[in-house]
Copies of this chain bind each other. A is one copy, B any other.
């Protein structure tokens, strides 16, 4: 690889001058500038960004931590971060932590050791304390889908509770009175918050949600099927099925359809997230839209700004509320 030295020698100028023309730096004579430029072109010089990053100790890459890139929700998240970074010439390091404390920590520490100056973390299993510790090490650290006390201004999160309240409110307004809920069995706070939302809204309407009408399973397609299966096997009767996410919703719908239960005539179903395939399902899934693209962009912006020690644009929203997308999986109940 040809280096700045080679160019300096070939152009018969100093390294400093070469560096200045590379960076369109200040005050280099137009003649010399053109000359150096020509030599660089001839020799096919490419600046070593790694070296530059090292010496300037500045901002060239942003780390992203997701539990699992295969998850379409996470892919969407990563996509929007990458898109924003690409537009400003930032490389993105993507790593996954698989919802495992050890792995997530290793991944973050590796990012830290690579001296990324910004990172956007989707981490649900690391403790608040550890996150606080990491945030001190990396001023550009931002959390998505999580609210850490003491780090509020570097968190971008969703009001999960409100999300499920809106779902239940809607189903209630459609005449439903018999509810069931299938929840994720992951030991993180989202399932708990969403369940709380469901319960509090139901309580407000004096509708009971017995424990037997709540089933837990992994938050995937199969989990959704398992969960409704156990609900049905347990004799629970319901006209409205609220689910933790779209994957479970579709799994549950498919299971019921396979059993000859008609959706939405027999059971109305509502998902959560509005991932790509919600609309591809049959019937098309009514769901809460998680504004992940806006949130991802907000998180990346905050990360970049705080990495640069800038004051953060106060208009960037940090708390989001999902919105109802009505499709075909819910019907009015008289």
- Which residues of A are in contact with B by a Cβ distance under 8 Å? 46-51, 53-54, 60-61, 68-70, 72, 75-76, 78-79, 82-83, 86, 89, 91-96, 107, 109-115, 221, 250-251, 254, 257-258, 276-277, 280, 282
Contacts and interface: CB of A to CB of B under 8 A. Distances in A.
Nearest to A71: B75
Nearest to A69: B79
Contact of A48 (B72, B96, B115, B277): B115
A19 B89 CA distance: 33
A245 to B, nearest CB: 13
A82 B54 contact: no
B49 A113 contact: yes
A155 to B, nearest CB: 24
User: Which 6 A-B residue pairs are closest in the complex by CB-CB distance?
Assistant: A49-B113, A75-B75, A94-B94, A50-B115, A70-B79, A54-B54
B114 A49 contact: yes
A332 to B, nearest CB: 21
Given A69-B78, A113-B48, A280 B89 contact: no
Number of copies: 2
A48 to B, nearest CB: 6
A133 B25 CA distance: 30
Contacts of A72: 70, 72, 75
Contacts of A53: 50
Contacts of A115: 48-50
Given A53-B50, A95-B92, A109-B46, A282 B282 contact: yes
Contact of A280 (B86, B92, B107, B251): B251
B96 A93 contact: no
Nearest to A112: B46
A23 to B, nearest CB: 14
Given A75-B75, A79-B69, A79-B70, A110 B91 contact: yes
Contacts of A254: 280, 282
B95 A91 contact: yes
A59 to B, nearest CB: 12
Contacts of A251: 280
A92 B93 contact: yes
Nearest to A251: B280
Contacts of A282: 254, 257-258, 282
Given A50-B50, A251-B280, A75 B82 contact: no
Given A69-B69, A70-B72, A92-B95, 9 more contacts: A49-B110, A49-B115, A61-B93, A61-B114, A69-B82, A75-B75, A79-B96, A86-B95, A92-B93
Contacts of A54: 50-51, 54
A54 B56 CA distance: 13
A75 to B, nearest CB: 4
A282 B262 CA distance: 13
A283 to B, nearest CB: 10
A138 to B, nearest CB: 11
A72 B73 CA distance: 10
